[in-house]
Amino acid sequence: MAKILERRKAILLRNKGKTYSEIRGIIKVSKSTLSLWLKFYPLSTRQLQRVNKNKYRAIEKFRLTMRKKREKRLDQYYQAQQKRLLPFSRKELLIAGLLLYWGEGNKASSHTISLNNNDPGVLKFALYWLLKGLLIPKSKIKIYLHLYKDMDIEKEITYWSKMLDISKANFIKPYIKESSRSEIDQKGFGHGTCGVTVHDTKIKETILMGIKGISDYYGKKIADI
């Protein structure tokens, strides 16, 4: 809990325009930890102007320059990978979905297909896989949310409905956790956890056997390497 409070305080100080050195003078934390906490919180041009010492101003400008270079580099990788990988064929989509389900999906139930995450991107892909890869009608897909007691339920249903482009009629009663969102200090919990689920024994067995087939095939290939 102490680290969570320190992180919150560090971000608050950074948003007020404090340099790394100033923050470390207030919070006793290592430079590497502070860099991890604040990597998405650069100083604005106005905030840089208040930094008195040229040395500290140069350091902050260097961090900003390096961040911009990294963003440019990542955008180049993004464009190249999109061109290289997309669009998927139906077979590729099926395989990608099976691998996602292998890691994130419910394998215990024999008839329920379900996958939970707090990342809208993951849920969008999972939903697309169900609709276009497994050809499951949208009307059969149910959406359920795990929310915190201090969250606006209707607001979060509206958020996920828009994110997934799916009707509110597909949502079932959410599960409300006794803890509060304010007690969670990790990126990604702003809208709770969303799950997509379908009840279909035949399709679930097909998914599980597809995963097993991939596992067995490449498990044997290890010996040939």
CA gyration radius, the chain: 23
Q: Which residue has the tokens 């509060």?
A: 180
Q: How far apart are CA 168 and CA 157, in angstroms?
A: 7
- Strand partners for 143: 171, 196
pLDDT level of residue 53 (50, 70, 90 thresholds): low
For 180, other C-beta atoms within 10 Å of its C-beta total: 11
**pLDDT score, position 145:** 96
169-219 residue pLDDT tens: 999 999 998 876 655 555 555 899 999 999 999 999 999 999 999 999 999
Q: What DSSP string runs through 109-130? A: -SSEEEEEES-HHHHHHHHHII
Strands 193-199 and 112-117: antiparallel
